[in-house]
Structure 1
């Protein structure tokens, strides 16, 4: 079975937390890795996500922490919503 890892950058404008991460993390850019495996037995090339990890830095140590991709999407949506409200309040 063939597998691949896709890397993307996500951005938080506000402090956030996710299950599996210790404490609250500061705003900024974070690298997220999605591990995918090829789905076999179908007539086209397709993959399914099997793991999602976020890279966090603590001091000089970088760690990849397994996270729930749906929880990450929810946290990003909430962050965008809060950022939008903050921008509305400052543009009067």
Structure 2
């Protein structure tokens, strides 16, 4: 079954926490990968998210030797982004 990865950037204005990760992560821009698979049998193209990953640390660190790709829950990410926007307002 064909699959694809879509990429986005999550911007946090303040330190934040994500379920499944220890401790607080610093504010900054984080690359996010969403792995998706094609839903077959549809009359049009449709994709289902099967995994979400965050690239750690934040881009501001600029140390490729310490970066890692960590699986996260998409809903935890969305909740953290909403909380960050609410606190910034």
TM-score by length of 1: 0.86
Aligned pairs (5 A) from 1:60-75: 60-75=65-80
Would the aligned equivalents of 1:33 and 1:53 in 2 still touch at CA under 8 Å?
yes
Distance across 2 between alignment mates of 1:32 and 1:23: 19
Partner SS state of residue 23, structure 1: coil
Match of 1:22 in 2: 22
Distance across 1 between alignment mates of 2:46 and 2:25: 34
Distance across 1 between alignment mates of 2:10 and 2:66: 20
Larger Rg: 1
Runs of 4+ that moved beyond 3 A: none
Listed as ranges, the gaps of 5+ residues in structure 1 are 85-92
Would the aligned equivalents of 1:56 and 1:63 in 2 still touch at CA under 8 Å?
yes
Match of 1:42 in 2: 42
